Amino acid sequence: MGGKNIFNLRPCEYNEYMSHTLPRDLKVDRSTLSVASLTDLSDEKAYWLARTPQERLKQVEILRRINYGPRATARLQRVLEITERE
């Protein structure tokens, strides 16, 4: 990963770094469908446990950007509400 430890980056630095390392045209391939029972054994867990934390985090970021699009990197609005006790 270019010698950068992505776990030590601030959120704005992380977003900037990931914007340069991920493809811009992320899309879901809806032409492929797989149906399985929830009780069937899967090798997915072993596959992801064999990956490095950086690879797993990068995949989570890809899925997040596919689901949320451009607003995935938008900062959350901070809201402050003051209430009075009775």
57-70 pLDDT, tens per residue? Answer: 888 888 887 777 76
Establish if 34 belongs to a structural domain: no
pTM for the structure as a whole: 0.51
Q: Between helices 11-21 and 53-68, what is the axis angle to 10°? A: 90
Establish if 55 belongs to a structural domain: yes
The parent domain of residue 84 ranges over 1-24+42-86
How deeply is 61 buried, as exposed, middle or buried, from its count of CB atoms within 10 A (0-12, 13-18, 19+)? buried
**pLDDT tens per residue across all 86 residues of the chain:** 455 666 677 766 766 677 667 676 767 777 887 888 888 888 888 899 999 998 898 888 888 877 777 676 666 667 778 888 87
Query: What's 51's DSSP letter?
Result: S
Q: Which residue has the tokens 């950007």?
A: 65
Q: How many domains does the chain have?
A: 1
